[in-house]
Chain A
Amino acid sequence: MAIENKSTVAYVGTDAVAEAMRQINPDVVAAYPITPQTAIVETFSTMAANGLVDTEMVNVESEHSAMSATIGASASGSRAMTCTSSQGLGLMWETLYIASGLRLPIVMPNVNRALSAPINIHCDHSDSMGARDSGWIQLFSENAQEAYDNTIQAIKIAENSNVYLPVMVLLDGFIISHAIERMELLEDNKVKDFVGEVNTPYSLLDPNNPVTVGSFDGLYGYYFEFKKQQEEAMKNSFSVIKEVGEDFGKLSGRSYEFFETEYMEDAEFGFLVLGSAAGTVRHHVKCLRENGIPAGMIKLRTYRPFPGKELVEATSHLKALAVMDRSDTFAGGMGGPVFMDLRSAYYDYDKKPLMTNYIYGLGGRDLSVELVQQATEEMQDIVRNGEVKQTVNYLGLKE
């Protein structure tokens, strides 16, 4: 299909996100700077200062207030966004649950960064993994292009009446946020039409329908039912994420699914990976294939909701599967969060690959091709011997 009038640019990830936000033109953006997210707030503030958007900027005094003000704005029937990283997301923790519990379609890019202590500004996924059970949809991006594409799609997913859940768009700190990449932008009016008019479930500013938002559930007890409804909405979001991904493909030539597979059909062993590390793993898997080694990979985009069944279907024919986690759960030897989720998804199935977990890249530690090769050799051993010697492995630790 021919896609007309696309423009190709060289952008850093933060500019890609800011550009998506400009095209979305939210009514309110409340935000607070934190490395490596800062450039998004700065660039977007400049756009607002130049009148390129209709947005009211609220330069709050903390991330707790950033999410609180975004909640107030979204509950007022406006399209409201914020963005953050690391400690900022940590400070928002309490209010993340309020945003999802009030069913507010807020969209928030989070530039993944390690959590203190020790203080570390570089990439890992521990910040967003800490928020994985807060009722937010989480979409991971491999590069600036995907961060841009996901941000636009997130609006449409969040504001779907069968969903009404907040969406977090994840991009790896510095690796995506600060590296210049070639990417394609859509035209302004195409994005405008795609996201459409704002759609929130209710508004404080509708004079004919006053609402009480955030009531106290202390006496009659409906909390449980509300939480069940959130889980239903999360289930509904599967088909919405799929449809929006397809529609986006018609618009841009880049369609999106829950995950992407490479060489998986006839693979003997495979890697499951999230975020920017997918590039390195893909490159390596391609080299392995060129040497006749039957490797494959899956890049997981939709981490919440978790497409467990689909992942099982895509990997159950493997002899061995390595799950790559850029964060730990400190559960005492159980491995990283993605590994635990996928192992759990496999429980009901008889046919399953031998599984290992590679925890890598914490605090920005580089994932080199050599390290992926090290993991490859271990995977080949597992295939050969039919047993896993060590389930949870820390890849690239200093001796």
Chain B
Amino acid sequence: MSTRLKDLSKKDEILKGGHRLCAGCGASIAVRQILKGLPDDVELVVSNPTGCLEVSTTIYPYTSWNCSYIHSAFENVASTLSGVESAYRSLKKQGKTDKDYRFVVFAGDGGTYDIGFQALSGALERNHRMVYVCYNNEAYMNTGIQRSGATLKGAWTTTSPHGEESYGKAENRKDLTSIVAAHDIPYVAQASISNWRDAVKKAQKAFEADGPAFINILSPCHRGWRYPMEQTVEVAKKAVETCAWPLYEVENGEYNLTGKVKEKKPVEEYLKMQGRFAHLFKKEENKEVLDSIQQYIDEKWERIKYLAGEE
């Protein structure tokens, strides 16, 4: 399938304009890139858990979704769509539908790493054919920038504030992509909205996978990350260049690095672009924190390279 911009631009947009996401939001970019990977001539059901994307695109009596769509709650998107997919299989087996359907989740990191994790794990284990996309903005944005299990260490959020006794979030984030890969599903990938061609290719593979597929796509939020709204793509790009967000895929168990990083840049270049880390650069004693962030990122990067058989 083509990933030429010229061809992709001719494809119909499923997420229509007029939604109420902030200007410069990474989430809508992620949705549009992923849906460019949808095969032609298939029917689609989209599901969101509660979160920024959901509340901004389905404001009753309007909808931005030019396809069937369901939201039921915050923690159950994977099980809700499990039910939809099971109904489809049941009706298909009984000859009550002959359409070719795809099922896709777009969920924030809160609905994926934290509260929705059990439902996600269960749905993956049961092998429902769905593409689960986590648009990862590293915090609960809809409720006003609270920490999540995806928030990078040292980050300010309203529930991991910095102060006399705190440098922001004290813990490293969990490596959800690896945890998902450990479910041995056909396709798992980490993507970034800054690398659109890579994201579209990954989406194409995910939609073709014969079983569950998972894409964790970095989708910066300028409100929560505190950078000028026109820099969303640049910030995401810097995450890739510093290897704070490595791009890779796990296809039937095979690890593969996708976005090649010619020269890995220091993570400070990424952190300095964002107000949520500004406090780390103001106090001398936070140098240690910065070093530990760099160390965490280096270790993760080395591990991914090792798994992908590089170097």
Q: List residues of A whose CB falls within 8 A of some B CB.
A: 27-28, 30, 54-56, 58-62, 64-66, 68-78, 80, 94-95, 98, 102, 204-207, 210-220, 222
Q: Pick the residue among A58, A68, A210, A216 that contacts B76 (CB under 8 A).
A: A68
B60 touches A65 (CB 8 A): no
Instruction: Collect the chain B residues with CB atoms within 8 Å of residue A58's CB.
Output: 82-83, 86, 126
Complexed CA–CA distance, A55 and B65 (Å): 30
In the assembled complex, 15 residue pairs joining A and B whose CB atoms fall closer than 8 Å, in A order, are: A56-B89, A61-B118, A71-B83, A72-B81, A74-B83, A76-B83, A76-B88, A77-B91, A78-B87, A204-B68, A205-B99, A211-B69, A213-B69, A216-B58, A218-B59
Known A58-B86, A72-B84, A78-B87; judge A65-B70 contact (CB<8 A): no
Instruction: Collect the chain B residues with CB atoms within 8 Å of residue A220's CB.
Output: 59-61
Residue of A nearest to B88 (CB): A205
B86 touches A56 (CB 8 A): yes
- Give the Cβ gap from A102 to chain B, nearest Cβ, in Å: 8
Known A61-B118, A218-B55; judge A54-B79 contact (CB<8 A): no
10 more CB-based (< 8 A) A-B contacts, given A27-B94, A56-B87, A215-B71: A56-B90, A64-B76, A64-B79, A65-B82, A71-B80, A73-B83, A94-B73, A205-B45, A205-B87, A217-B60
B87 touches A76 (CB 8 A): yes
Complexed CA–CA distance, A71 and B119 (Å): 14
B91 touches A61 (CB 8 A): no
B82 touches A54 (CB 8 A): no
Interface residues on B, range: 35 or more
Instruction: Collect the chain B residues with CB atoms within 8 Å of residue A218's CB.
Output: 55, 59
Q: Pick the residue among A77, A94, A216 that contacts B87 (CB under 8 A).
A: A77
B230 part of interface (Cβ distance < 8 Å): no
Complexed CA–CA distance, A61 and B78 (Å): 11
Complexed CA–CA distance, A376 and B294 (Å): 78
Instruction: Collect the chain B residues with CB atoms within 8 Å of residue A94's CB.
Output: 73
A28 touches B68 (CB 8 A): no
A30 touches B73 (CB 8 A): no
Known A69-B79, A69-B80, A220-B61; judge A54-B69 contact (CB<8 A): no
B84 touches A68 (CB 8 A): no
A62 touches B118 (CB 8 A): yes
Complexed CA–CA distance, A60 and B97 (Å): 24
B72 touches A30 (CB 8 A): no
B241 part of interface (Cβ distance < 8 Å): no
B63 part of interface (Cβ distance < 8 Å): yes
Q: Pick the residue among B54, B66, B118 that contacts A210 (CB under 8 A).
A: B66
Known A56-B86, A61-B118, A95-B73; judge A215-B58 contact (CB<8 A): yes
Instruction: Collect the chain B residues with CB atoms within 8 Å of residue A27's CB.
Output: 87, 90-91, 94
Complexed CA–CA distance, A66 and B59 (Å): 27
Residue of B nearest to A209 (CB): B68
Q: Which of B60, B73, B75: most chain A Cβ within 10 A?
A: B60
A61 touches B71 (CB 8 A): no
- Give the Cβ gap from A357 to chain B, nearest Cβ, in Å: 36
Instruction: Collect the chain B residues with CB atoms within 8 Å of residue A56's CB.
Output: 86-87, 89-90, 93
- Give the Cβ gap from A26 to chain B, nearest Cβ, in Å: 9
Residue of A nearest to B67 (CB): A210
Q: Pick the residue among B85, B90, B125 that contacts A54 (CB under 8 A).
A: B90
B97 touches A205 (CB 8 A): yes
Q: Pick the residue among A54, A65, A66, A73 that contacts B84 (CB under 8 A).
A: A73
